[in-house]
Chain A
Amino acid sequence: MSDRLSVFKTYKLYVGGKFPRSESGRVYEVTDSKGNWLANAPQSSRKDARDAVVAARKAFGGWSGATAYNRGQVLYRVAEMLEGRRDQFVREVAEAEGLSKSKAAAVVDATIDRWVWYAGWTDKIAQVVGGGNPVAGPYFNLSSPEPTGVVAVLAPQESSFLGLVSVVAPVVATGNTAVVIASEKSPLPALSLGEVLATSDVPGGVVNVLSGRTAEIAAPLAAHQDVNAIDLAGADEVLAKELEIAAADNLKRVLRPQPVDYAETPGIDRMTAFLETKTVWHPTGSLGASGSSY
């Protein structure tokens, strides 16, 4: 038997690039799939949610203003950092979801690939969903996708890591900032993801990770006037309905929960869900006067 004392990790929230405990001081017990104690995770309150929104709003200008190419580089960096922590995530995912080590490793690999996939999309999505529109007049008419703003994300309850990344990455890849509520039952991979984000050039506040009771944290976020959209992936039917009603007050974009196989390659739906299309008209000037076409 080793004579070392065990060094337990204190899991903390990730808000505004820092690692605070919950403002409420509460924690709750996180267990593995068999009910054995794993760690105490912070149990966030509505004030933590409020602080996270403030941080996300503050980060929005810089992140949405960064070039798509730069965002892609930053997100690829996240994948690099994940790769370095692969063993840790394999262990956490195996414990959280009751998977064998090899199955958990496959999940982690798929998750890292998912980051890379979305990192590649940052500077390509505009070509796919934007572009020049044909109009009958001497004008250019251009549509370009723009990020919606601060997005509250209820991470999937079952897929604690692959599912989490599959909902968070599309939100930030398109230039939004996110307040993420981790899976209630297995929040540890999400909290560890915060540590990865903190060390990978992602500006503080772009992703904020909260753990706790999903229903408790989601309610103030859904009603929050400074949240622009909400992804209800982690809400059950009753909660989703409640949150959608609250979200209607300031016309938040709402992505309803739907059955998803996170192992499959996602389409671009999760990215376009939190993009708005801006269309501008621009006179072509002398081209029209000279009578020439392009």
Chain B
Amino acid sequence: MPTNAPTAALADVTSSGSTLRRFLHGLPGVDAVGLEARAASLGTRSIKTTAKAYAIDLAISMVDLTTLEGADTPGKVRALGAKAALPDPTDRTTPTTAAVCVYPDMVAVAKQAVAGSGVKVASVATAFPAGRAALSVKLADVRDAVAAGADEIDMVIDRGAFLAGDYLKVYDEIVAVREASGAARLKVIFETGELSTYDNIRRASWLGMLAGADFIKTSTGKVAVNATPANTLLMLEAVRDFRAQTGVQVGVKPAGGIRTSKDAIKFLVLVNETAGEDWLDNHWFRFGASSLLNDLLMQRQKLATGRYSGPDYVTVD
């Protein structure tokens, strides 16, 4: 009974712009000070020895190894794919990363580079990173990426419409992209750095999940403020509450600004303490990062050998 009743209630909230607005604005406000204090206090956990080794391997398996530059060449994408499939050639017990994340026109190259390794190919789409294009253009972008073989689509929401309060437009767009993605898993990027308030991040999270996101993702990595422990904690609370209400599990992907193993492990603590162990799997939690992987590998080498490693022992990318 408690599972069905809220689901039925949630079915109505997207029926019109005003009901959606009423629902999103009816979400409890975020206690910003409490949220940041909670995130900071969870960040002080000490993770050592075997737990650290487990966390590092888990974190490596959760990395969406990303290159999203105007200067991306097929060669660079191939190198990235090779690294994703075999992060540390000197130690084959190292897990592969979860995925490589590229622009749509590089999907085919990436697909070829990771073939047979189990590494997925994620593609940003919908006029990433600004998202300022007509819906038809965005959908064509998505279809392109899916046709080229993308396993996952990272879309950006229309922050302009969201901030203007036109939630239904954002919702409809996500639903349309969801359809265009077909079998690919859909990650919805909110660009939390542009949403101004924690309340908005909570609303965007629920909006994305109601529209059928498989993942909710903090940011594009292209603005000043990217993934922070606080906004990720907030999104983890949202996916936890959403599953409690609807039974549907949604993943979380912090992206941008996570560069060290220490940071990554802090995020894993947040996941475990907030959403729970069910999310400690690369099907449900990802890191959008590029330089993070090198630091994880260096820490892994340190644990294995007892010596501090250095940047000479990982690839330059």
Contacts and interface: CB of A to CB of B under 8 A. Distances in A.
B and A form one assembly: yes
Interface stretch (B75-83, B110-118, B281-289, B309-317): B309-317
Contacts of A86: none
B308 A53 contact: yes
B311 A224 contact: no
Interface in B267-317: 301, 306-313
A226 B306 contact: no
B310 A224 contact: yes
A50 B308 CA distance: 7
B303 to A, nearest CB: 13
A223 B311 contact: no
Contacts of A53: 308, 310
Instruction: Summarize A's interface: helix, strand, loop or mixed.
Output: helix
A227 B310 CA distance: 8
Interface in B156-179: none
Interface in A52-75: 53, 57
A287 B290 CA distance: 50
Interface string A242-285: 00000001000000000000000000000000000000000000
A57 B310 CA distance: 9
A223 B313 CA distance: 14
A139 to B, nearest CB: 31
Contacts of A223: 306-308
Nearest to B301: A225
Contact of B311 (A50, A220, A226, A249): A226
B306 A225 contact: no
Nearest to A226: B310
Contacts of A226: 308-312
A226 B313 CA distance: 9
Nearest to A220: B308
Instruction: Summarize B's interface: helix, strand, loop or mixed.
Output: loop
Most B-side CB within 10 Å, residue of A57, A225, A226: A225
Contacts of B311: 57, 226
Nearest to A246: B307
Nearest to B313: A225
Contacts of B301: 225
A276 B313 CA distance: 21
A150 B311 CA distance: 13
Nearest to B309: A225
B297 to A, nearest CB: 12
Contacts of A225: 301, 307-310, 312-313
Nearest to A46: B308
Contacts of A57: 310-311
A220 B309 CA distance: 11
Interface string B30-60: 0000000000000000000000000000000
Contacts of B310: 53, 57, 224-227
A229 B194 CA distance: 47
Interface string A118-142: 0000000000000000000000000
A224 B307 CA distance: 6
B199 to A, nearest CB: 36
Nearest to A53: B308
A146 to B, nearest CB: 16
A78 B190 CA distance: 50
Contacts of A227: 310
A223 B301 CA distance: 13
A50 B307 CA distance: 10
A57 B312 CA distance: 11
B103 to A, nearest CB: 30
A222 to B, nearest CB: 9
A38 to B, nearest CB: 32
Interface of B: 301, 306-313
Interface of A: 50, 53, 57, 220, 223-227, 249
Given A53-B308, A53-B310, 18 more contacts: A57-B310, A57-B311, A220-B307, A220-B308, A223-B307, A224-B307, A224-B308, A224-B310, A225-B308, A225-B309, A225-B310, A225-B313, A226-B308, A226-B309, A226-B311, A226-B312, A227-B310, A249-B307
27 contacts: A50-B308, A53-B308, A53-B310, A57-B310, A57-B311, A220-B307, A220-B308, A223-B306, A223-B307, A223-B308, A224-B307, A224-B308, A224-B310, A225-B301, A225-B307, A225-B308, A225-B309, A225-B310, A225-B312, A225-B313, A226-B308, A226-B309, A226-B310, A226-B311, A226-B312, A227-B310, A249-B307
Report the 5 A-B pairs with minimum CB-CB distance, sorted nearest first: A226-B310, A223-B307, A224-B308, A225-B310, A225-B309
